[in-house]
Structures are given as structure tokens and as C-alpha cells.
Chain A
């Protein structure tokens, strides 16, 4: 059964939520933290509701609304979200007030809004959508799990249109804590030169990307979601490579059939080898592109990559600023996204022309 992407919406550190051309100019940043370019949320949400929403919820709602608008539907049959960190801003507010208030008088709003399923729940409330509503919280597989669930319920024939997406935010608290883990670069860094970096660490990112997935091809269809798999902690490069080759074989493809390989290079010298090995060993003739210099590193960054891949298939053009090796592909029938989150969570998402 084929599954089609009927609409997409994206809020990211790039100008992706407006009406401008696709990645026409790259937003440049100094430092190890990218911040989403946020649209005017009042076009989708009443101010009285907006005051209670943290950034993750607002970004998710905006991306969801944009994707529904593009698909030309108002009410999906299911809403499925992937998020690793959840609503960190409200979690931070709640915990801070717990400390300053000596655990006596706690703010109910921040507590209510701090749960991981707030994004999916708020989208459902705003749309008055009482259908299946689920949130997957699986670290670097959160978005992939949301996509997998979407594909399965579409394949069951239980629903016709699914709104699926991934969202994560950075806050001052989370950035400080994750910096202590040594995730981010210590020296000055520009996002535009991130993927050429040869030092430890990456840059933090955030954003939301949502997709309307449907079982039937329509004039709105942008791309086909042709395949998805996850590989958790392969014991060796051989096991990883065999899984990637097995994925291609399952879909009746050879590596030469992939016109563009979008890899999760994040500028961390310890992780670059993984992508270089996969690209050089398994896809020697394929043009390779990156995306984390645009959106930063975060557990659901593959949602941004999927949005970018869908747009490339729609436009039939890959922006020069994303190409890492090879020349801009002459034809764009199939795009494979390969990501490896923190060396453990490997995922493959295959998109093709509808």
C-alpha cells in the first residue's frame, strides 16, 4: 500500500513557516544554539489560548496548521506526534516555581502544559478533533515512531488522513544541562560552516514539522512516504550496513536508485565517520546532502529532514547550500534520509515522487 504526503508545515531556525520560496536564503547563526524563526501565531490561535502555550506547543500547532492548509483538509482522522523532550519551557517554569515556592503553591497551568502529549492534545483541541491522538517519546526515534504508527493505521485502512509530526524545543535550562553533557561545541561556530568542522560537539537546534499523510494519491500529493526503518545500537558497522542494504532490498532498490542521500552530519568529529562510511561504502555514486546546519541537532531533527526532502521532490530541485558531495542531481525520484542520533539511534526514511 502506498502512503502519500499531502501537505507539510515546518517551523525551524530557517524561514520555513512563511510563504517565501523554499530555503531561498540560509539564516546564519553564530554560536552553538539555533532558535526557531517563529511566525505570528495569532493567525492560528486566539490570544487567550496562546498565553498558556509554551514554544513547543506553538511551533507544533503552527506546523500542523500549515500542513493541513497545504493538504486542503480541516479535520484529520488521527493526530500522531513524536517528541523527545516534550514541553520543556513549561517543565522549567513548573520546577522553578516548585523551588521558589518551597513546594507549597504550585502553578497549575505550567504543570498541565508540561506533559509530552500537550502538543498533540492542543492540536486536537484547536481542531475539535476527537479522533485517535497519540504521542511517541522515544529519544532519537520519536518522530520515526510517530511515522511508523501513522503508516500502520493507514495500512490497516482504519483512517484516510493522518496528521503526523515531530517537535522539540530548546530552553535556557535544557541548553545548560545538555551543554554539561558535552553535546555542543565550545569554540565559536557558525552554522554555515558546521558541516566542515573537525572538532568535538555540535550545535543545538529545535523546530516542528508536520505532515498530512493519506492513503490515496491526490492532486495535492507532494511525495510518497515509501519506507521507514530504525536500527537500534547495531553491534558493528557490518550489522548497520547489512540493515541498510536489507532496507533497500526490501523496497526493490539498489543504492544507485537513490538520487539524493540526506545524512545527519552534525559537525561532531566523532560522528562524521559514521556518515562518511555509509555514504562512501554503500552510496558511492549518490549525491550527499546535509541538513543540521539549517536546523541544528535535536532528537526529532529527522522531521525537518523529511520536510526538506518532500519539498525537494515537490520543487524537483535541491538547494546548493545543502549539497555536501557530488553534484546537484539531474533527476529527483527518490530521496533517502539516513540519521544516527548520538551513535545509537539509526534511522532510514525513504521518500519518492508521488
Chain B
């Protein structure tokens, strides 16, 4: 999850945030890390660029991008699926 946090920081240009500042279960949006809808698009791009995962159902977005842990769980599940 440390790698994923670094990728999020780089993709979103979170200039003053360090990986250790982001809690595994901390909400990424609103009151958590304070991300917004443009950041959500950037996270979709991050999944494509780093993990070759295309978000098939946008309705799943809020669930997948709730926290770093939910993102990591989704990535792991996608990578285990037969290609």
C-alpha cells in the first residue's frame, strides 16, 4: 500500500503530503484527504497507467476509491482474475 500511496501523491501532485500521512483506511474524498471529482478522474487514469485496469463500471467508483485499502483490494482482485 506504500507504493500505491506514493503513486496517488505523484498523480494528484499532493505537494505537502507524504505517504505516511495517508491512513490505510482514511477516506480519500471530502473530509478525509479532501479529494474532489477531478481527482477521481486522475485515480481512474492511475489504475490504467500503473495496473492496466480499466474501470468497467463507474458506479463502483465511490466504493473502490473510498480509501487506499479499498483501492488496493480492488487492484489485487483484478490482478488475480484470469486475463
Q: How far is the CB of A113 from chain B (nearest CB, A)?
A: 10
**In the assembled complex, A47 has its CB within 8 A of some CB on chain B:** yes
Tell me the count of chain A residues lying within 8 A, CB to CB, of chain B. 13
**Looking at chain B's contact residues, is the secondary structure mostly helix, strand, loop, or mixed?**
helix
CB of B49 within 8 A of CB of A101, answer yes
A47 touches B15 (CB 8 A): yes
A105 vs B48: C-alpha distance when bound (angstroms): 6
Within 8 A of A (CB), among B1-41: 11-16, 34, 38, 41
Bound form: Cα–Cα A267–B69 in Å:
59
B45's contact among A50, A51, A52, A107, by CB below 8 Å, is which?
A: A107
Taking A51-B14, A101-B49 as contacts, is the C-beta distance between A108 and B34 under 8 angstroms?
A: no
CB–CB A48/B34 < 8 A: yes
Given contacts A104-B48, A105-B48, A107-B45, contact A51 B38 (CB under 8 A): no
Please judge, given known A-B contacts A47-B16, A51-B13, whether A105 and B49 are in contact too, CB under 8 Å.
Answer: yes
Q: Contacts A105-B49, A107-B42 known; A52 to B34 CB distance under 8 Å?
A: no
Q: In the complex, A104→B46 CA distance in Å?
A: 12
A106 surroundings in chain B (CB, below 8 A): 45
Residues of B within 8 A of A51 (CB): 12-15
CB proximity to B under 8 Å, residues A91-139: 101, 104-109, 112
- Least CB separation from B33: chain A residue: A48
Are the CB atoms of B15 and A112 closer together than 8 Å?
no
Shortest C-beta distance, A264 to chain B (Å), equals 36
Taking the closest CB of chain A, its distance from the CB of B12, in whole angstroms, is: 7
Q: How far is the CA of A271 from the CA of B8 in the complex (A)?
A: 49
8 A Cβ contacts from A44-67 to B? 47-48, 50-52
Q: How far is the CB of B14 from chain A (nearest CB, A)?
A: 6
Give the CA-CA distance A105 to B44 in the complex, in Å: 9
Most chain A C-beta atoms within 10 Å of own C-beta, residue among B12, B13, B14, B15: B13
In Å, the complex CA distance between A194 and B11 comes to 41
Considering the chains assembled together, what is the distance between the CA atoms of A107 and B11 in angstroms? Answer: 9
Query: What A residues does B15 contact at CB under 8 A?
Result: 47, 50-51
> Residues on B close to A: CB < 8 A?
11-16, 34, 38, 41-42, 45, 48-49
Residues of A within 8 A of B (CB): 47-48, 50-52, 101, 104-109, 112
Nearest first, the 5 closest Cβ-Cβ pairs linking A and B are A105-B48, A108-B41, A51-B13, A105-B45, A105-B49
Question: 8 A-B residue contacts at CB 8 Å?
Answer: A47-B15, A51-B15, A104-B48, A105-B45, A105-B48, A106-B45, A107-B11, A108-B45
